[in-house]
Amino acid sequence: MKIIVCSAGSVGRSIVGYLVKGNNDIVVIDSNQRDLDEVSQEYDVLPVAGEPSHPDVLEKAGADEADLLLAVTDVDEVNMAICQIAHSLFQVPRKIARIDSEAFLDPLWETLYSDVHLPIDQVISPDMEIAGNILNILKYPGTAGVLPVLDDKWAVVTLRLTPQSPLIKIQLMQLSRVAPDLKAAVVNLSRDNRCFIPESYDEFLAGDEVNLLVPMEEIDDVVRSFGVEKPANERLLIFGGNDIAAYLGAKIEHDDSIISCRIVEESFDKAKRLARDLSHVVVIQGEMMSDVILEEADIRHADASIAVTENDKDNLLASLLAAKSGVQSTISVVNTPSYNNLIVSIGDNILVDRSSVTISKILKEIRKTKMQEAYSLSRGSGEIWEIKITEDSLCRDKKIGELGLPKQSRIFGLQRENEVVFPEHTTELCVGDVILLYVDSGVIKQAERIFG
């Protein structure tokens, strides 16, 4: 597949870092030569210098042969123009645009994005998605990730096990006996930077990061069963005043469960704009590493800190300072792939991987499998596909054990009518079933052939 990515900035780079893992020809367009050089040195892509909204630049990038175009610059209007030009002049079949402004995202204007008006096949809002991801983590203290699935009625929840967990050294086959009320299915485990699907005889160990399929209303119960619960996040401190912080602030100030929220931003203009738009959030302008500013932000009494700047090192350093000051939960947004396989020993620091959050919105476009939804798990541990079994499905009327699934993949959930079950190898797939399939990043092509 030939894919054109318009922007070598943080969003574009995070998308490219994921796309290069597949069998794709990637072209990156950007007018910023420095960003373009950095992304082309890091990844096997074809760099094209120039304004991505200019027809001659798109022609140079080979837009007439592109299967998919992603317009993800920092300017909504530019992204709209790119998609229009790609459609009108080069007939690019699939076009995805980054739209961040809520003015363009209002449901009142949803008919705007069509071939009749603006030929955009899919709109993505990475900063809004990241903010939503962070809000889910804050809502369920003790989790390191909450990914809603099956119409938001269930979730894939990430937990980090501590030596105090009552389920340490418990084999998976013994879970139903040790915790009979636990309603959860293990998706995968991450241990010593290695992700794998555990067998029934495998044990939970301290330090494991486990992904579990859980009913949304039972997340708190599952967190308590694993002994990783934390007090409610009532006092928040946000480092950085970008769009992610703005989205978070807008949601938080209408949340009665939040007692206080403070945002620290170095830029005077950004801080002024946030202070104007947010009425119940305190905005502090100043150096976020300054002892004076941190004292003013009341860091010692914060329950959770969220670092959302564009710089990974600043975010990790802010989390370190927060942990040293006694903050119980620290969250850092990271853009650099090298951090994906790193559990940072900064208290219990939670990494929100921009690339995983962003790529989840476009996975359906780049996978050779018809699916309802697709999600990328953090730290490159694999993908989750939500697939509906139809009349023409190759796996229709087959038992799961007969599908020939690659070893590092598993159907861990099945929705039949209004009931969700944890299927076995003998479970037969019927028309109308919706399955949740975990696929390790190394066996995606094999899984595509089975469910293509």
Tens digits of residue pLDDT in 152-201: 999 999 999 999 999 999 999 999 899 988 999 999 999 887 889 999 99
pLDDT mean over 37-60:
95
Q: What Å distances lie between residue 446 and 68, 189, 359, 363, CA to CA?
A: 22, 21, 20, 16
User: How would residue 1 be classed by pLDDT, with cut points 50, 70 and 90?
Assistant: confident
User: Given this model, what pLDDT does residue 415 score?
Assistant: 96
Q: Is the pLDDT of residue 381 over 90?
A: no
Whether residue 381 sits in one domain with residue 396? yes
Q: What's the structural domain count of the chain?
A: 4
Whether residue 262 sits in one domain with residue 354? yes
> Which of 13-22, 59-68, 224-233, 332-341 shows the lowest mean pLDDT across its residues?
332-341
pLDDT one-digit tens code per residue, 392-415: 888 889 999 999 999 899 999 999
Of 128 and 102, more confident: 128
Whether residue 107 sits in one domain with residue 6? yes
309 and 331 Cβ atoms separated by less than 8 Å: no
User: Given this model, what pLDDT does residue 104 score?
Assistant: 84
What is the arrangement of strands in the sheet containing 383-388, beginning at the earlier edge strand?
373-376, 383-388, 434-439, 409-416, 419-421
Q: What is the DSSP letter of 429?
A: P
pLDDT mean over 338-342:
51
Whether residue 170 sits in one domain with residue 75? no
450 and 395 Cβ atoms separated by less than 8 Å: yes
User: How would residue 339 be classed by pLDDT, with cut points 50, 70 and 90?
Assistant: low
409 and 391 Cβ atoms separated by less than 8 Å: no
Of 344 and 133, more confident: 133
d(CA 119, CA 174): 54
- CATH number of the domain residue 147 falls in: 3.30.70.1450
The first and second tokens of residue 336, run together, are 């650099």
Would you list the DSSP string of 68-108? Answer: EEEE--S-HHHHHHHHHHHHHHH--SEEEEE---HHHH-GG
Q: Of 72, 90, 124, which residue constitutes the final position of a domain?
A: 124
Whether residue 349 sits in one domain with residue 399? no
- CATH number of the domain residue 338 falls in: 3.40.50.720
Residue 129 belongs to some domain of the structure: no
Element spanning 388, H or E? strand 383-388
Backbone phi, psi, residue 428, to 5°: -90, 135
Q: What Å distances lie between residue 171 and 164, 167, 227, 328, 352, CA to CA?
A: 16, 9, 16, 29, 29
| b (16+ CB within 10 A) / e for 112-125 | ebeeeebbbbebbb
**Cα 78 to the center of its chain, rounded Å:** 24
Query: Which among 35, 32, 2 has a CA at the least distance from the CA of 14?
Result: 35
Residue 348 belongs to some domain of the structure: yes
Range of the domain at 334: 235-358
Q: Is the pLDDT of residue 61 over 80?
A: yes
Query: Which among 381, 333, 339, 338 has a CA at the least distance from the CA of 358?
Result: 333
Whether residue 113 sits in one domain with residue 20? yes
Q: What is the DSSP letter of 203?
A: B
Q: Of 300, 329, 358, which residue constitutes the final position of a domain?
A: 358
Q: At what angle do helices 33-42 and 10-19 cross, to 10 degrees?
A: 20
Residue 132 belongs to some domain of the structure: no
User: Given this model, what pLDDT does residue 340 score?
Assistant: 47
User: Given this model, what pLDDT does residue 344 score?
Assistant: 47
- In one letter, which amino acid is 154? W
Whether residue 399 sits in one domain with residue 298? no
d(CA 59, CA 39): 21
What is the SS3 assignment for 12? helix
d(CA 129, CA 244): 9
User: How would residue 361 be classed by pLDDT, with cut points 50, 70 and 90?
Assistant: confident
Whether residue 333 sits in one domain with residue 316? yes
Residue 71 belongs to some domain of the structure: yes
Q: What is the Cα gyration radius of the chain?
A: 22
Quickly tell me which residue has 């399929």 as its tokens: 213
Whether residue 199 sits in one domain with residue 261? no
Other Cβ atoms less than 10 A from the Cβ of 227: the count is 16
Whether residue 198 sits in one domain with residue 111? no
Q: What Å distances lie between residue 289 and 265, 273, 299, 301, 334, CA to CA?
A: 11, 21, 11, 17, 18
Residue 204 belongs to some domain of the structure: yes
Quickly tell me which residue has 């809002």 as its tokens: 125
Whether residue 340 sits in one domain with residue 266? yes
d(CA 205, CA 198): 12
Quickly tell me which residue has 């969250």 as its tokens: 331
User: Given this model, what pLDDT does residue 176 score?
Assistant: 86
Quickly tell me which residue has 């853009």 as its tokens: 335
Residue 230 belongs to some domain of the structure: no
pLDDT one-digit tens code per residue, 273-324: 999 999 999 999 999 999 999 999 999 999 999 999 988 899 999 999 999 9
Residue 133 belongs to some domain of the structure: no
User: Given this model, what pLDDT does residue 343 score?
Assistant: 47
Quickly tell me which residue has 């992204």 as its tokens: 79
d(CA 220, CA 140): 7
**How many helices (H) and strands (E) would you count in the chain?**
15, 22
Which distant-in-sequence residues (6+ apart) come within 8 Å of 88 by Cβ?
119
Residue 135 belongs to some domain of the structure: no
Element spanning 221, H or E? helix 219-225
d(CA 80, CA 6): 12
- In one letter, which amino acid is 447? A
Q: Which residues on adjacent β-strands are paired with residue 282?
A: 262
Q: Of 332, 358, 384, which residue constitutes the final position of a domain?
A: 358
pLDDT one-digit tens code per residue, 62-98: 999 999 999 999 999 999 999 999 999 999 999 999 9
Whether residue 157 sits in one domain with residue 84? no
pLDDT one-digit tens code per residue, 230-258: 999 999 999 999 999 999 999 999 899 99
